[in-house]
Amino acid sequence: MKVLHVCTHDQGGAAVAALRLHEALKQNGVTSKFLVLYRSDFTNDSIEFKPSRFGFFFRKVKAKVFRLFGKKKQDLSGFEIFSSPNTIYDVRKSTEYQQADIIHLHWIANFVDFSTFFPQVNKPIVWTFHDLNPILGGFHYLIDKNNADTHLSEMEHQYSLVKSEYLNNRSVHVIAPCEWMKRMAVESGIQFASVRKINYCVNTSIFRFLSKTEARINLGLPQDKHLFLCVASDINVERKGFRHILYLADEFEENQGVTFLVVGKSATEFNRKNIDFIGVVSEPELLRAYYAAADVLLLPSEEDNLPNVMLEAQCVGCPVIGFKVGGIIDVITPGVNGLLANQVSSEGFLSALASFLEGKYLPNRELIAKTAQTLFSEKKISEEVTNLYKTIIKV
């Protein structure tokens, strides 16, 4: 069985999840390749898409004409991302596509052209939804869609009609990483061949249990402080809710026994004495140590699918506090492996953290790690996906 994964990038949350599945499938005996439009991480075996010169030139001219005579460019400032279903690339022309038995799509914004790909594809398609863009128009999240002005809303509607036209009643089998995403796909109005929930997987040989005491010794962190961890690829993305962390830091400003550890990319300085900005941590073993050293992972995302950081933290044994949104609800059982804020607000998050500090919840970190490693193991998830492939090929 030959599978081709298609993803715009080989970095970022969606790419991380997709590449983990790709590696897990190879370990499970599947011939798997990973095609990207932009290759930037040369530590993996992703393949950069190479468009034919003539086809690329023709489609680029066509796209330029469309821009010149189409609608004027919209102001997208204040929105995370807005992408068109129309691109200048034809994935079907690649050697990797032609050799594959199954095409597994991932985050394909600005890469796969809906008008040429879906009507003409002659292979089974599996599509993992990493955000809502496959079933929205140009937006990727409801938060942005709901805040759009009239002009953007019109374009959003037009793009959603284009997607419905090219996706409806096609042989597209959807993988939803969480129940929320599954429900959104089912209720989208688009008739997919099937929709099922399959979690992301985690490299459990790296993200495994480590005691808090040992981790703090290794990192040179104090044993007698409360350490609250926040991890995000980009701290400044509004949807990730970092403003709630700043609110918490202000509330605990006079508490000398509390420090907030922040891991990720940020364009701003925090100027708070109780925030220790670590920056980007690219080494998985080092990230594991920070999960283990923290009393709890703070996950203030206001809209999210199945955050990788939540799964990684759980596999190490770190409890999680988050909002009742997206896939966070699927994983976090209050009082067992973390806590859920009763309302999506800074005050709600503070209340949940206060309960944690009051000792109302005493986590069994080894049990958290053991449970998560079973749920999100590469072997388990790769077998579930492989079984889906086999079912599709039989049909």
pTM (predicted TM-score): 0.93
How many Å apart are CA 52 and CA 42, to the nearest integer?
Answer: 23
Of residues 274, 246, 281, the one with CA closest to residue 259? 274
Tell me the pLDDT of the chain (395 aa) as tens digits.
999 999 999 999 999 999 999 999 999 999 999 999 999 877 789 999 998 654 545 445 544 544 444 444 566 778 999 999 999 999 999 999 999 999 999 999 999 999 999 999 999 999 999 999 999 999 999 999 999 988 899 999 999 999 999 999 999 999 999 999 999 999 999 999 999 999 999 999 999 999 999 999 999 999 999 999 999 989 989 999 999 999 999 999 989 899 999 999 987 778 899 999 999 999 999 999 999 999 999 999 999 999 999 999 999 999 999 999 999 999 999 999 999 999 999 999 999 999 999 987 899 999 999 999 999 999 999 999 999 999 999 75
The token duo for 226 is 């409360």
Burial class of 50 by CB neighbour count within 10 A (0 to 12, 13 to 18, 19+): exposed
CA distance linking residue 362 with residue 295, whole number of Å: 11
Q: Which pLDDT value is given to residue 75?
A: 65
Cα 247 to its chain centre, rounded Å, is 25
Burial 11-47, CB ≥16 within 10 A → b, else e: bbbbbbbbbbbbbbbbeeebebbbbbbbbebeeeebb
Phi, psi for 167 (deg, rounded to 5): -100, -25
Q: How many CA atoms lie within 13 A of 351 on its CB side?
A: 10
C-alpha 192/C-alpha 190 separation (Å) is: 6
**Distance between CA atoms of 110 and 113, rounded to whole angstroms?**
8
* Angle, CA 312 vertex, CA 309 and CA 318 arms, to 5°: 95
pLDDT of res. 41: 78
Distance in angstroms (rounded) separating the CA atoms of residues 38 and 27: 25
pLDDT value of position 66 = 43
